[in-house]
Structure 1
Amino acid sequence: MMRDESSPRVLYVEDEKDLREPISQMLEILGYTVDCAINGAEGVEKAKSWRPDFILMDIRMPKIDGFEATRLLRSNPSTEKIPIFILSAYDDAKTRAHCREVGADGFFSKPADIEKIDATIRRTLQIVP
Structure 2
Amino acid sequence: MSKKILVVEDTEDNRQILRDLLGMAGYDMVEAHDGAEGVARAAEHKPDLILMDIQMPVMDGYEATRRIKANPELAAIPVIAVTSYALSGDEEKARAAGCDGYIAKPYSPRQMLAKVREILK
Match of 1:83 among 68, 72, 78: 78
> What is the CA-CA distance between 1:64 and the residue it aligns to?
0.4
Match of 1:65 among 56, 60, 68: 60
Report the secondary structure of 2:113's partner residue.
helix
Match of 2:116 among 121, 124, 127: 121
Q: What amino acid is the match of 1:55? A: I
Report the secondary structure of 1:68's partner residue.
helix
Aligned to 2:23: 28
Report the secondary structure of 2:89's partner residue.
helix
Aligned to 2:87: 92
TM value normalised by structure 1: 0.90
Aligned to 1:3: none
> What is the CA-CA distance between 1:23 and the residue it aligns to?
1.6
Measured on the aligned residues, the alpha-carbon RMSD in Å equals 0.9
Aligned to 1:45: 40
> What is the CA-CA distance between 1:93 and the residue it aligns to?
2.1
> What is the CA-CA distance between 1:100 and the residue it aligns to?
1.1
Percent identical across equivalent pairs?
Answer: 38
> What is the CA-CA distance between 1:22 and the residue it aligns to?
1.7
Matches of 1:27 and 1:112, distance apart in 2: 14
Superimposed CA distance per residue, residues 65-106 of structure 1 (whole angstroms, 9 cap, x where no aligned partner): 000000000100111000100000110122111101111001
Structure 1 residue ranges without an equivalent (≥5): 1-5
Aligned residues: 121
Deviates more, 1:17-26 or 1:68-77: 17-26
Structure 2 residue ranges without an equivalent (≥5): none
Report the secondary structure of 1:87's partner residue.
strand
Q: What amino acid is the match of 1:52? A: P
Q: What amino acid is the match of 2:34? A: N
- 4+ runs deviating over 2 angstroms: none
